[in-house]
Amino acid sequence: MKQLVCISRTPETTANIALNGDGTDIQTDGLNYILNPYDEWYALVRALELKEAQGGTVTVINVGGAENDIVIRKALAIGADDAIRVDAQPSSAMAVAKMIADATKDGAYDIVYCGKESIDYNGSMTASMLAEYLGLPFVSYASHMDVSGNTATIKRDIEGGTETVEVPTPFVLSAAKGLAEQRIPNMRGIMMAKRKPINVVSPGEAKNNAVVSMYELPKGKGDIKMIDPDNMEELVRLLKEEAKVL
Amino acid sequence: MARTDQYEGHDYYGVDALLSEDHLLARDAVRAWVKQEVSPIIEEYSERAECPKQLFKGLAEIGAYGPSLPVEYGGGGMDEIAYGVIMQELERGDSGVRSMASVQGSLVMYPIYRFGSEEQKRKYLPKLGSGEFIGCFGLTEPDHGSNPGGMITRYEDDGDHVILNGAKLWITNSPVADIAVVWAKGPDGKIRGLIVEKGMKGFTAPEIHGKWSLRASITGELVFEDVRVPKSNILPEVAGLKGPLSCLSKARYGIAWGAIGAALDCYDSALRYSKERIQFDKPIAGFQLTQKKLAEMITEITKAQLLAWRLGTLANEGKASPAQISMAKRNNVHMALEIAREARQIHGGMGITNEYPVMRHMMNLETVLTYEGTHDIHLLITGMDVTGINAFK
């Protein structure tokens, strides 16, 4: 089985995000980056589990500059066999999906994985767009998957329960929590990863149909107001007029 | 109830830029492992003075035993800086957990790799690397600590075997160890290393109880009463004190890095606490005396990071002298202990509880200050190195 896992680089979960002066971009100085957890913990690890059970290969692909090599190397240290890096800055979900599709359309992959979202922009768009570009079926938010022969049985968490779908290979899925458990790379994996290839390819043509005009950070939390326990009228007034919860 | 480990690394001078991709990956992997396996349980094990033995296998799986030894002998094939950052992250969790790994790698695997026969290397190293065997290192004796050359443990010739008699004290891992690398004087008066296996008649390893430090690490004695050890278990490639001392250099190097981890954990906790703790209507981080403590902490940590990085670069080139290693071990452990004490003050009363890691680190570091060469002896090593005059005796 040939499997492809799309991985992205995101600021670490505890990063303090700041914007530039006019709010059109994020300040990247001093930010530490990680491999997007949905791509790493769930998509990549499930692909590796299937490879261990059924054989085959796991390739990872990323769109980005050489600064992304360290997160690609981490994916190789966890166990991916090889990597493709499309040498372009990821400007939008559509552009990334198009570039991945162009770079892999002849790869004959049986299962193509994305994380359900990247933890920075939370778009949840790349996987479905990629499926469209590749002309493949798409299953979103997969939290469990078994593969038998050419058929995958996938559970999806839906409101109030789960949905089970069957899909023939090849297909694209987006991975949610539950699909697999995090694996920590060991030192041997890290050293082996140094010898695994990262194939850098030029991007195909891609355009952005939607552009970001500006970002805003959430407003700071308001001060706590202490109300005298005997002054219930004031409490009710504030809940009504300021908090607007009554 | 285990608290969430909120630790974040601190790199005030951008020292990370001096590290390679595999150093950073190794550090992040061990940090993740510590958060997953060590932080949730370490306070309870420490409180009970119990060694979390399950971590021996986990340390093997992550690759923490002999990471800088060749892969063919059970090591990781990494460089000395990688070994350093691994020790730093382990000690960020607990000095006792770092001790479990540094004894196995630097004091057991390293002497067998460096001074053992090919047969000994093949027999023991892969099993030590995989955690199937746990090892310990016997040099210190009840009456010979800083003066190991005066040891009284000795062996006599007995055909294909030698007969070993004596006792070793303060031996990390000894009660659970499958093998012990024991340094003893032979009939010619020279110190040699012997691999003594658990189960050899006359060999016991009782546990030492009542420690207020390194409580999650198991410590014991090694007692030899007419133990018959095959001559094939003697390390053939070294005689004299330089054998054990070269192992100690390796371990001390790891401690110089490890202590930074303990210091970083204390600083990280103190910094977070000081921003959350409100007194006189503002966070205590806003008071000058707290800022003085925090500023001095990060200054000392930064100096220690640079010292360790430079020492690691020298070690990679095979140029780190024992005296240079002594300086780094002494400076960095003392630095970490001082930071633990200051961090404890910032935490106020909470600092003495197991809600926060600082008191545990502080108690651990009291041991680290004097094991693997005491703080004072390392000073004399530097003194001898710069003056050329031996002030030990």
pLDDT in tens, B315-362: 999 999 999 999 999 999 999 999 999 999 999 999 999 999 999 999
Share of chain B above pLDDT 90, in %: 98
Say if residues A34 and A73 touch (Cβ distance below 8 Å).
no
Question: Which of these, B8, B82, B3, B1, lies nearest to B270 by C-alpha position?
Answer: B8
- Mean pLDDT, residues A27-56: 95
Q: What is the pLDDT of residue A13?
A: 85
Q: What 3-state class would DSSP assign to B374?
A: coil
Contact at CB, B86 and A190, closer than 8 angstroms: no
CA distance B393 to B345: 39
Q: Which residues of A touch B21 (CB under 8 A)?
A: 69-70, 73
User: Could you say which of A14, A73, A184 has the minimum Cβ distance to residue B62?
Assistant: A184
- Mean pLDDT, residues B179-190: 97
DSSP element (H, E) containing B164: strand B161-172
Q: What is the ipTM of this complex?
A: 0.91
Nearest chain A Cα distance for residue B74, angstroms: 10
Nearest chain B Cα distance for residue A194, angstroms: 8
DSSP element (H, E) containing B376: helix B375-387
User: Could you say which of A182, A191, A193 has the minimum Cβ distance to residue B76?
Assistant: A191
pLDDT in tens, A6-33: 999 999 988 888 998 888 888 988 888 9
Contact at CB, B25 and A186, closer than 8 angstroms: no
Q: Is the pLDDT higher at B384 or at A213?
A: B384
CA distance B4 to B141: 41
- Mean pLDDT, residues A127-151: 97
Contact at CB, B63 and A14, closer than 8 angstroms: no
Q: What is the pLDDT of residue A228?
A: 87
pLDDT band at B1 (very low <50, low <70, confident <90, very high): very low
At the topology level, CATH places domain B242-387 in Butyryl-CoA Dehydrogenase, subunit A; domain 3 (1.20.140)
State the pTM of this model: 0.92
| Sequence ranges of the domains in chain B | 15-130, 135-233, 242-387
Q: What is the pLDDT of residue B345?
A: 98
DSSP string, B351-368: GGSTTSSHHHHHHHHHHH
> Is the pLDDT reported for residue B197 higher than 50?
yes
Q: Which residues of B touch A190 (CB under 8 A)?
A: 22, 25-26, 29, 63, 78
How many helices (H) does chain B have, and how many strands (E)?
12, 9
Contact at CB, A191 and B61, closer than 8 angstroms: no
- Mean pLDDT, residues B206-223: 97
Q: What is the pLDDT of residue A207?
A: 82
Domain A2-218 in this protein, CATH class: alpha beta
| Sequence ranges of the domains in chain A | 2-218
Q: Would B135-233 and B242-387 be classified into the same CATH topology?
A: no
- Mean pLDDT, residues B67-80: 93
Q: Is the pLDDT higher at B4 or at A114?
A: A114
Assigned token pair, B184: 């003893």
Assigned token pair, B265: 């954990």
Strands B154-158 and B161-172: antiparallel
Q: What is chain B's mean pLDDT, rounded?
A: 97
> Is the pLDDT reported for residue A242 higher than 90?
no
pLDDT in tens, A70-118: 999 999 999 999 999 999 999 899 999 999 999 999 999 999 999 999 9
Nearest Cα residue in chain A from B22: A190
The residue of B8, B13, B25 whose CB has the most chain A CBs within 10 angstroms, and thus the best one to mutate to test that interface, is B25
Nearest chain A Cα distance for residue B64, angstroms: 8
Architecture of domain B15-130 in this structure: Orthogonal Bundle (1.10)
Q: What is the pLDDT of residue B2?
A: 54
Q: What is the pLDDT of residue A114?
A: 98
Q: What is the pLDDT of residue A227?
A: 86
DSSP string, chain A: -EEEEE--EEE-TT----B-TTSSSB--TT--EEE-HIIIIIIIHHHHHHHHHH--EEEEEEES-GGGHHHHHHHHHHT-SEEEEE-S----HHHHHHHHHHHHTTS--SEEEEES--TTT----HHHHHHHHHT--EEEEEEEEEEETTEEEEEEEETTEEEEEEEESSEEEEE-TTSS------HHHHHHHTTS-EEEE-------SS------PPPPPPPP----TT-HHHHHHHHHHTS---
Q: Which residues of A touch B76 (CB under 8 A)?
A: 187-188, 191
Backbone angles phi, psi at A34, to 5 degrees: -135, 165
Indicate if B366 belongs to the active site: no
pLDDT in tens, B251-291: 999 999 999 999 999 999 999 999 999 999 999 999 999 99
B77: left (phi over 0), alpha (psi -120 to 50) or beta: left
Would you list which residues of chain A are within 8 Å, Cβ to Cβ, of chain B? 14, 69-70, 73-74, 77, 182, 184-188, 190-191, 193-194
Domain B135-233 in this protein, CATH class: mainly beta
Say if residues A72 and A150 touch (Cβ distance below 8 Å).
no
Contact at CB, A70 and B25, closer than 8 angstroms: yes
